[in-house]
Amino acid sequence: MPLVVAKDLAKSYGKVIAVDGLDLTLDEGFVTGLIGPNGAGKTTTIKMTLGLLKPDRGYVEVFGQDPWDNTAIRSLIGVIYEKAFFPPHQKTLDYLKRVCRVFGVHESRALEVLELVNLEDASDRAIKALSAGMLQKFAIAHALIHRPKLVIADEMTANLDPQARSALLDLVLQLNKNEKVTFLLSSHILPELSRVCDSMAIINEGKVWAYGKLTELYEKYAVGIVRISTDNPEALASEIKKLNYIEELEIDPKGISVRVFEGKEEILYEDVPKLARKVKAKILGIETGSASLEELYRLVVGTKERK
């Protein structure tokens, strides 16, 4: 059952088009990543999904309902904003107890969620006295207090140290597995998303450029990648670039990463040794590679831009 359905969603700020005909369906039980460059429309999409902004065109439904000023669905959604703000002069545990009362949850849940994010030691501290990382943890605790079915997070791991990030990603996986919580996570940190997401929406220029299960996206976009290890990558790369079936080429510390047109991998395998001999480069290894999420993102954006 889809929890979020967005159809032809559009939103502009004056002359700036933030979202332009975006379609997205978020299925129950998935951890979906929302990735895209700055200004792609991720935050605006999230805000319309949460009923904070009204679309100029199209519609979005959450749990089958319009999210604008809809109190019925708010008990089902947990929200984590990029910058979290709470009444600054209240103490963390006191405020969370207040939120428990707002949602009709037993007050013992307040300490429970603080422990979940390792913030129990700060239970007596005023919210304004929390560090940026602690405030982000507090926001996560706040979002989970009413055991939501859907968690929507915009840059959830911002301000967190590596250890806290890792713990949080484990928590996402645990909640998804044990309590069937669906997540929509917007982030720029792609390795983190690749660790927890099973589906991905790549958004750019206010539209979804690619969406689906990660395995399907890799099958569709990340084919024809060959990695070549060599002692002279610059010289060899300049020769490989001249081949007419090369779609994309990149030099990285590990060597050369080449993407060829469909079905041309074997021809590349034959051509590379010849070109290496020509430039006197030594081939250390050559293999058909799998793409990282970052590469997948670049491939999708590259493919779409060429179109």
The C-alpha atoms of residue 218 and residue 140 are separated, in whole angstroms, by: 31
Nearest to another protein of 127, 300 (CB atom): 127
Type of residue found at 56: D
The C-alpha atoms of residue 75 and residue 101 are separated, in whole angstroms, by: 12
The C-alpha atoms of residue 34 and residue 27 are separated, in whole angstroms, by: 14
Closest separation between CB of residue 15 and another protein, Å? 17
Type of residue found at 204: N
How many residues belong to the site for another protein (CB under 8 A)? 32
The closest of 248, 251, 277 to 264, measured between CA atoms, is 248
The closest of 129, 117, 132, 119 to 93, measured between CA atoms, is 119
Q: Which stretch binds another protein (CB under 8 A): 47-55, 155-163, 243-251, 284-292?
A: 47-55
Closest separation between CB of residue 27 and another protein, Å? 22
Residue 43 and residue 52 in contact, taking contact as beta carbons nearer than 8 Å: no
Q: Which of residues 103-122 bind another protein (CB under 8 A)?
A: 103-104
Q: Which stretch binds another protein (CB under 8 A): 23-31, 45-53, 219-227, 296-304?
A: 45-53
Closest separation between CB of residue 13 and another protein, Å? 9
Q: Which of residues 67-106 bind another protein (CB under 8 A)?
A: 69, 71-72, 74-75, 77-79, 81, 83-90, 95, 98-99, 101-104
The C-alpha atoms of residue 79 and residue 125 are separated, in whole angstroms, by: 22
Type of residue found at 217: L
Which helix (H) or strand (E) segment holds residue 150: the answer is: strand 150-154
Nearest to another protein of 97, 264 (CB atom): 97
The C-alpha atoms of residue 270 and residue 182 are separated, in whole angstroms, by: 47
x/- letters, 266..285, toward another protein (CB under 8 A): --------------------
> Cβ contacts of residue 89 below 8 Å, gap of 6+?
126, 127, 128
Closest separation between CB of residue 118 and another protein, Å? 22
Question: Does 54 participate in binding another protein (rule CB under 8 A)?
Answer: yes
Question: Does 16 participate in binding another protein (rule CB under 8 A)?
Answer: no
Range 284-306 burial, b when 16+ CB lie within 10 A, else e: eebeebebebebbbbbbbebeee
Q: Which stretch binds another protein (CB under 8 A): 65-73, 227-235, 283-291, 298-306?
A: 65-73
Closest separation between CB of residue 78 and another protein, Å? 8
Which helix (H) or strand (E) segment holds residue 200: the answer is: strand 199-204
Question: Does 47 participate in binding another protein (rule CB under 8 A)?
Answer: yes
**Distance between first and last Cα of the chain:** 33
Nearest to another protein of 71, 163 (CB atom): 71
Q: Which stretch binds another protein (CB under 8 A): 46-54, 168-176, 193-201, 242-250?
A: 46-54
x/- letters, 219..258, toward another protein (CB under 8 A): ----------------------------------------
* Binding site residues, another protein, CB under 8 A: 47, 50-54, 69, 71-72, 74-75, 77-79, 81, 83-90, 95, 98-99, 101-104, 142-143
